[in-house]
Chain A
Amino acid sequence: MSVDVREKIAVTPPAVPMTTGKKHGRPRLGGYLMMAVAVAVMILPLVWMMLASFKQRDEIYTVPIQWLPESFELSNYFAALAAVPFGNFFINSLITTVVGATLKISLGLTTAYAVVFLEFPFKKFIFGLVVFALLVPQQIVIIPNYTLVSDLGWINSYQGLILPGLASAFGTFLFRQHFLTLPISILEAAALDGASHWTRLWKFVVPISAPTIAAVALVSIVSEWNEYLWPLLVVDKAEMMTLPVGLTLLQNNDGVTNWGVLMAGTVLITVPVLIVFFLLQRRIVTGLTSGAVTG
Chain B
Amino acid sequence: MSTMTPPVVMRKRRTPWKSWLLFLLFAGPNVALLIIFTYKPLIQSLQYSLLQWNIGSATARFVGLSNYSNWFTDPTTANVVKVTVIFTLVTVAGGMVLGLSLALLLNRKLRGTGMARTVVVAPYVLSGVAVGLLWLFVFDPNFGVLGAVLKGIGLGSPDWYNDPSWALPMIIIVYLWKNVGYVALIYLAALQAVPKDLLEAATLDGAGPFASFRNVMLPLLGPTTFFLSVTTLLSSLQSFDIIQAMTKGGPLEGTTTMMYQIYQEGFATGRAGYSSAIATILFLVLLVITAVQMLFIQKKVHY
Contacts and interface: CB of A to CB of B under 8 A. Distances in A.
Interface of A: 1-2, 5-6, 8-9, 12, 16, 18, 28, 31-32, 34-35, 38-39, 41-46, 48-49, 52, 60-65, 107-108, 110-111, 113-115, 118-121, 123, 126, 129-130, 133, 135-148, 150, 163-169, 172, 188, 191-192, 197, 201, 222, 225-226, 228-229, 232-233, 243-245, 247-248, 251, 257, 259, 262-263, 266, 269-270, 273-274, 277-278, 281, 284-285, 288-289, 291-293, 295
Contact of A143 (B29, B244, B272): B272
Given A126-B31, A140-B45, A247-B129, 14 more contacts: A1-B219, A62-B143, A110-B27, A114-B27, A129-B39, A140-B282, A143-B45, A144-B42, A164-B37, A244-B130, A257-B136, A278-B122, A285-B121, A292-B190
Nearest to B184: A38
User: What secondary structure prevails in chain A residues at the interface with B?
Assistant: helix
Interface stretch (B64-72, B74-82, B89-97, B283-291): B283-291
B201 A5 contact: yes
Contact of A292 (B56, B120, B186, B275): B186
A132 to B, nearest CB: 9
Given A49-B137, A118-B22, A269 B105 contact: no
Nearest to A184: B1
Nearest to B44: A144
A137 B31 CA distance: 16
B216 A143 contact: no
B175 interface: no
User: What secondary structure prevails in chain B residues at the interface with A?
Assistant: helix
14 contacts: A1-B216, A9-B198, A12-B201, A31-B110, A133-B34, A138-B38, A143-B266, A144-B41, A148-B36, A172-B30, A191-B4, A245-B129, A257-B136, A274-B126
A144 B45 contact: yes
Contacts, number: 303
Interface in B246-302: 259, 262-263, 266-267, 272, 275-276, 279, 282-283, 286-287, 290
Contacts of A140: 42, 45, 262, 279, 282-283, 286
Interface residues of B, number: 109
Contact of A111 (B26, B124, B220): B26
B121 A130 contact: no
Contacts of A139: 238, 240, 259, 262
Most buried by B among A32, A46, A292: A292
